[in-house]
Structure 1
Amino acid sequence: MPRNRSWSRRTLLRGAGVSMALPWMESLPCFADTTKFPKRFGVLFMGNGVNEDHWGAEGNGADMKLSKTLEPLEPLKHKINVVHGLFQKRATGQGIHPAQTGALLSGAVIQKGAIIKAGITVDQLIANKVGQETAQQSIVLACEQPMTGYHETNFSMAYSSHISWQTPDSPVPNEVYPSLAWDNLFENRGSLRNMSILDRVMDDANSLGRSISANDKAKLDEYLTSVREVEKRVDSMRKSKDSAEDLAKQKNRPVFSMDRPANGLPEDLRDHARLMCDIIAIAFQTDKTRVASLLLARDLSAMYYPFLGVKDGHHSASHDNTSEGYERISRFHLSQLAYLATKLDSMKEGEGSVLDNSCLMFLSNMWIGRKHDNSRLPLVLAGGLGGTLKTGRTLDYIKAGNDNRKLCSLFLSIMDRMGIQADAFGDATTKLENI
């Protein structure tokens, strides 16, 4: 490649069948305008509520005090908002579980029976707008396989298994295998699946390294090393998936019907969740997508947590949600938000970071599992969305009145900051005050 190549934000590291956007570098003229960094939106979901005795925050800024479950966010408290009291009204009074989840991100009225009907979700609406500028409109990941069939309330289990919907009658399929998520991200097909992404772009990277400052060269090396580290872990899980598919063929059954880890999913959820977060982080940094969702544990989750010393599965444990064990489960999932936010915050963009140009939202479909109470929802936002979202705050809407604490009003506010103008979304016609 010629050394006098003109680098631009849309000029990528290129190789055989792959391209990677560059991280911010001060010595490249294309990054001189720091007002044009992309804004990103991500959702992390944990089903069945939290331990309400240990979920909360008080105060703002340096004086913000976080509860036990939110402690993993302590180093980032100046870059988060803990939001109390929002709810999805149309998800109340319709029955437990699927009815509480199916329209969580859309505010739609969902339908019982054989024909599913929900609504396009906020992440997909944003993706339809900003996704035109990226290789993928969005990535939709999960750490647990979806369920089939119907709940006793006559709502489809699809509502419990998916939080992202591209049309009212079609949820976006969850990608549960890290290797497939990685391959989709970097368009790995056929023989390319066996070739390192970095090896394919290394000529371009070496050429760039000769034309940038020493500081940027160190930044580029760090960037490439982080991608290589994730790629190696993905490759290990790819081998497990291939072995699972061979076993499924021998047993003449679909691989998704087999229990973890025989189905090729990591036996240890810690490995699975962290790798999915790493994939989102790299997707945001390489500008492969600007919208992502991660279903850490679905509604009615069957996940087990031996590493937390909890014997019951997630759903069963949620029926005793004030227990110490369930608090550990809640804190574990909240810590994935802390991990992803910290990783994004380490990725510099101008005077800020990728996190500063993003909004990550962590939430559940209910508040108290033992009561199936979704009259309010646990919710945390991380990131400043390009300076449009003030952070370091505790926002309390519990006593604001039902019309002033709509989750869809928050979605309208986020959409507005992402450059999407809408008069209404779900059951909301006004943006959330004070956000």
Structure 2
Amino acid sequence: MNPITKAALPRRTFLKAAGVALALPMLESMTPALARAAEAATPRRFLGICNNLGVLPEHFFPTQGTGKDYELSTYLKLLERHRNDFTVFSGVSHPDVDGGHPADICFLTAAPHPSSGGFRNTISLDQYIAEQIGVQTRFPSLTLGVNTSGGLRSLSWTGSGVLIPCEEKPSAIYKAMFTQGSAEQVNAQVKKLERGQSILDAVAGQAKDLQRTLPQRDRDRLDQYFGSVRDLEHRLAVSKEWETKPKPAAPGPAPVDVVSPAEYMAKTKLMYDMARLAFESDSTRCVTLMLDSVNSPALELEDAEITDGYHNLSHHGRNEAKLKQLKAIDEWHMKLLGGMFDGLKETKENGLALLDRTMVLYGSNLGNASTHVTTNMPVLLAGGGFRHGQHLAFDTERNYPLPNLFVSMLQRMGLEADRFASSTGTMRGLEEA
């Protein structure tokens, strides 16, 4: 039979033997060859951005109209040239994610009650994606941050609930993507990876000896551990292969790092540039960016005087002077976001705008930073192959689950996912283009 026209093998096919049913992993034969070639030529990507102090809701959310007939709000007017490239949501939140500021670490995990004693985070959306497709690129994911206290705040969390520290220096990101190490440096890195793999082999061997003496429940837990070890071994092997492959040519001079936390907007712009370059060079297909406004001082803006720390301003108490400064800061956020959309639209990949293949999720864990509420979160989604140009309005009192959007995004990435965290399905009203 012609392998090009042969019907694709269903993903839900099972291997059955001795009473055990095992779901097949994703195989190339599960999609027609021509479709695989098209997807490989134009991969899909994800960028998740969280500003943990959010924006003034009265200037962000549309107040007139829903669907495609909505009227742009004050802030969204700054993105007007991209109106048909994004969808804005109102009345969405993460069920049971509360606690005010601590909720920022749950923006991409939706793990409940982050401020409770004994809280343990769950896997973030980017890491879920990276586990599936991360081996296809040099970096499974990039975790970036602005003013994140030395990388100690992050949007990215592993499946075992471990924080992945942010990289705050654009120069370091640029070097990792484009600077080829010497032969000696490459060999040293390969040996380091080989040592890591040998350690895993030794630990797994010891665990197998132990398994024979354990009760069934502990043996089941060890089986899960073995699965994790096998996954890590595979990642180490792939990483070793990437070490020997030439890096893409540098697109220009390396960026100069911005040192002062007060130059927050300059830092943010550089991180947007790094995310675009990462996608443009196909160095990774998953990027997260934590904009840690809570830990930012009085900002330096070109066209406004900011007299107080970002966090203090957010507790404005309806003070007109504070609201005016916050509005100036929020508008800069929108301008930079629009500029990033410009760059993704201007960058072409196989004749398509990079934005068309890149899902950009922008939002906050706080619906209103002044009162610390985590409901009615300000969220918009741009690009990525959806039908945009609309306002999806849900009940602002009884919110619609934002994790449903995550399921839709996972499926648009080509991943088989019916649930993520507290989702109840896919995002209602959001259709693929």
Q: Quick one: structure 1 residues 321 and 65, their matched pair in 2 at CA, closer, same or farther if it must change by over 3 Å?
A: farther
1:80 aligned residue: 86
Asked if the contact 1:43–1:292 (Cα under 8 Å) also holds between the matched residues in 2, the reply is yes
Deviations 1:381-412 (A, max 9, x none): 111x2x3x11111111126944xx10111111
1:367 aligned residue: 367
What SS is found at the alignment partner of 2:251? helix
Q: 2:251 aligns with which of 202, 220, 227?
A: 227
What SS is found at the alignment partner of 1:102? helix
| AA of the residue aligned to 1:318 | S
TM-score computed with the length of structure 1 as normaliser: 0.68
1:28-427 alignment, distance < 5 Å:
33=38, 36-57=41-62, 58-59=64-65, 64-92=70-98, 95-98=99-102, 100-109=103-112, 117-146=120-149, 161-186=153-178, 188-189=180-181, 227-228=251-252, 231-232=253-254, 234=255, 236-237=256-257, 261=260, 268-298=263-293, 300-307=294-301, 308-320=304-316, 323-383=323-383, 385=384, 387=385, 389-398=386-395, 401-402=398-399, 405-427=400-422
Between Structure 1 and Structure 2, whose CA radius of gyration is higher?
2
Q: Quick one: structure 1 residues 37 and 76, their matched pair in 2 at CA, closer, same or farther if it must change by over 3 Å?
A: same
Deviations 1:140-186 (A, max 9, x none): 111113379xxxxxxxxx6xx22111234311110001111112223
Cα RMSD between the aligned structures? 3.0
Asked if the contact 2:314–2:370 (Cα under 8 Å) also holds between the matched residues in 1, the reply is yes
Asked if the contact 1:102–1:110 (Cα under 8 Å) also holds between the matched residues in 2, the reply is no
Deviations 1:212-264 (A, max 9, x none): xxxxxxxxxxx98x921xx34x1x33xx8xxxxxxxxxxxxxxxxxxx53xxx
1:6 aligned residue: none
Distance in 2, matches of 1:306 and 1:425, equals: 39
Shift of 1:122: 0.6
Asked if the contact 1:137–1:289 (Cα under 8 Å) also holds between the matched residues in 2, the reply is yes
Asked if the contact 1:85–1:377 (Cα under 8 Å) also holds between the matched residues in 2, the reply is yes
Shift of 1:321: 7.4
What SS is found at the alignment partner of 1:362? strand
Q: Quick one: structure 1 residues 282 and 111, their matched pair in 2 at CA, closer, same or farther if it must change by over 3 Å?
A: closer
| AA of the residue aligned to 1:46 | N
Asked if the contact 2:70–2:391 (Cα under 8 Å) also holds between the matched residues in 1, the reply is yes
Q: Quick one: structure 1 residues 39 and 186, their matched pair in 2 at CA, closer, same or farther if it must change by over 3 Å?
A: same
Shift of 1:338: 1.4
Shift of 1:96: 2.5
Shift of 1:271: 2.5
Q: Quick one: structure 1 residues 180 and 304, their matched pair in 2 at CA, closer, same or farther if it must change by over 3 Å?
A: same
| AA of the residue aligned to 1:392 | G
Deviations 1:269-316 (A, max 9, x none): 232211111111111111111111112234x23232131312111111
Q: Quick one: structure 1 residues 34 and 420, their matched pair in 2 at CA, closer, same or farther if it must change by over 3 Å?
A: closer
What SS is found at the alignment partner of 1:91? coil
Asked if the contact 1:363–1:380 (Cα under 8 Å) also holds between the matched residues in 2, the reply is yes
Distance in 2, matches of 1:60 and 1:372, equals: 26
| AA of the residue aligned to 1:48 | L
1:212 aligned residue: none
| AA of the residue aligned to 2:60 | W
| AA of the residue aligned to 1:135 | R
Q: Quick one: structure 1 residues 34 and 365, their matched pair in 2 at CA, closer, same or farther if it must change by over 3 Å?
A: closer
| AA of the residue aligned to 1:172 | I
Deviations 1:69-116 (A, max 9, x none): 223211111111111111012213xx3311x22322111135668866
What SS is found at the alignment partner of 2:287? strand
Distance in 2, matches of 1:400 and 1:354, equals: 36
Q: Quick one: structure 1 residues 400 and 302, their matched pair in 2 at CA, closer, same or farther if it must change by over 3 Å?
A: closer
Deviations 1:130-149 (A, max 9, x none): 2221111111111113379x
Deviations 1:184-232 (A, max 9, x none): 2235547999xxxxxxxxxxxxxxxxxxxxxxxxxxxxx98x921xx34
Q: Quick one: structure 1 residues 336 and 297, their matched pair in 2 at CA, closer, same or farther if it must change by over 3 Å?
A: farther
Q: Quick one: structure 1 residues 414 and 113, their matched pair in 2 at CA, closer, same or farther if it must change by over 3 Å?
A: closer
Q: Quick one: structure 1 residues 63 and 396, their matched pair in 2 at CA, closer, same or farther if it must change by over 3 Å?
A: closer
What SS is found at the alignment partner of 1:163? coil
| AA of the residue aligned to 2:334 | L
What SS is found at the alignment partner of 2:106? coil
Distance in 2, matches of 1:137 and 1:69, equals: 34
Asked if the contact 1:366–1:372 (Cα under 8 Å) also holds between the matched residues in 2, the reply is yes
| Greater shift in the superposed pair: 164-173 or 129-138 | 164-173
Structure 2, gaps ≥5 residues long: 1-36, 186-247
Shift of 1:353: 0.4
1:429 maps to 2:433: no
Shift of 1:433: 1.0
What SS is found at the alignment partner of 1:427? coil
1:27 aligned residue: none
What SS is found at the alignment partner of 1:89? coil
What SS is found at the alignment partner of 1:123? helix
What SS is found at the alignment partner of 2:316? coil
Shift of 1:35: 8.2
Shift of 1:359: 0.8
What SS is found at the alignment partner of 2:340? helix
Q: How many pairs are equivalent?
A: 326
| AA of the residue aligned to 1:139 | L
